[in-house]
Structure 1
Amino acid sequence: MSLIDERQDFSDVADVFLLHGSMQSPAFLDGRLCALLALRDVSAEAWLEEVCISLGVEQPRDEANAERILGWRKQTLEALSASDLNYAPLLPDELFSLGEQAQGLKEWTLGFIEVVEEVADNELRERWSQALREAIDDLEGLSRIDTDIDDSPENENDLFALTEHARMAAMLLYTEQHPGKPQVEQADAPVH
């Protein structure tokens, strides 16, 4: 099994960044990736180039790192287009403090919003559902959250809810831009 088929988490991608001399979080680029896949269907080559530019390198240092970057794109696309709606932003997990997790969510949101602002003109936005427009507006507020939080159950619950909101906004954007993908059953569909 190649690396491209392995499920990757935040730490896997962060390790690739570190190997290339970058201390930046992958969360920002993951937000960009999600919005790009929803709005432009970014190709594997274009994604590899964007990551390399962000890391300040001409190309990945070896084939394994290139496969991991491409696997990240593939995994995200598959999750966004899957009928089980299991997409999850690539964010720091419970191994990180709540403050670090909140910072990851903030960075993811900033990356996502950046692409939406670059790509989604007024004509496109007018075709969006009210629910999607509201979700995108909410994300803009989420990009300003306070990340200086302590590890408390209340903060953990709040962060989970905010992350879930970002996840749902991302899936809503993807599904509205790709009708019929995923094949989501409609609860109120007429029975034949």
Structure 2
Amino acid sequence: MSLINERQDFADIADTFLLHGSMQSPAFLDGRLCAALALHDLSAEAWLEMVCLGLGVEQPRDEPAAERLLGWRRQTLEALSASEMSYEPLLPDDLFSLAERAQGLKDWTLGFMEVVEEAGDAPRKAWSEALREAIDDLAGLAAIETDLDDSPENENDLFALTEHARMAAMLLYTEQHPSQPQVEQVEDPESQPKH
């Protein structure tokens, strides 16, 4: 079976990073990927360039590695554009400690916010109030405490924060791609050009 059709998870991508000599978490680049797909319709070529830059290499080491990295972009795009709202940030799973999972969410948020901030104020002007609030709240996530003990309370808090990041990402994508069938068109008088 081809790698292209397999669902990539955090460990798969982390292993691919290791093959390229990188110990960094995929979460940061996943945050960047998500925001770049929403704001810039990031192409496959531009994505490979972004990943290679992040990994400090000129190109993926081989065809399977390139396929895996492209599959990561494809599955993220499919999940963001799916009507069932199935997008999940690529984060460490339950096999990792709560502190490692919190660090993953922080890394993801930093990557996501970096792309949002690089885009400047122009896209923000067309955003709904709900999206602006979600993105502003997300900026606060970049400062979360990651030195967490494994406790049910911390687990619930982290789940809620992760859910907020997930919803903010989907809201950004759907507002930037209003032709998606699940998004209702709302005429906003504020977005009309002023004379």
TM-score range relative to shorter protein:
over 0.9
Partners of 2:181 and 2:153 lie apart in 1 by: 34
Q: Name the structure 2 match of 1:173.
A: 172
Q: Is the counterpart of residue 130 in structure 1 residue 158 in structure 2? A: no
AA of the residue aligned to 1:37:
L
Q: Name the structure 2 match of 1:93.
A: 93
AA of the residue aligned to 1:149:
L
Map 1:12-161; keep pairs closer than 5 Å. 12-119=12-119, 121-161=120-160
AA of the residue aligned to 1:15:
D
Across the aligned residues of Structure 1 and Structure 2, the Cα RMSD in angstroms comes to: 1.2
- Name the SS for the 2:122 alignment partner: helix
Compute the displacement of 1:180 (Å). 2.7
AA of the residue aligned to 2:45:
E
Q: How many residues align?
A: 185
Compute the displacement of 1:184 (Å). 4.7
Partners of 2:158 and 2:182 lie apart in 1 by: 29
Compute the displacement of 1:122 (Å). 2.2
Deviation by residue 1:33-82 (Cα, 9 ceiling, x = unmatched)? 00000000110011011111111111111100000000000000000000
**Is contact 1:82–1:182 with CA below 8 Å preserved after alignment?**
no
**Is contact 2:174–2:183 with CA below 8 Å preserved after alignment?**
no
TM-score, scaled to structure 1: 0.94
* Structure 2 stretches lacking a partner, 5+ long: 186-195
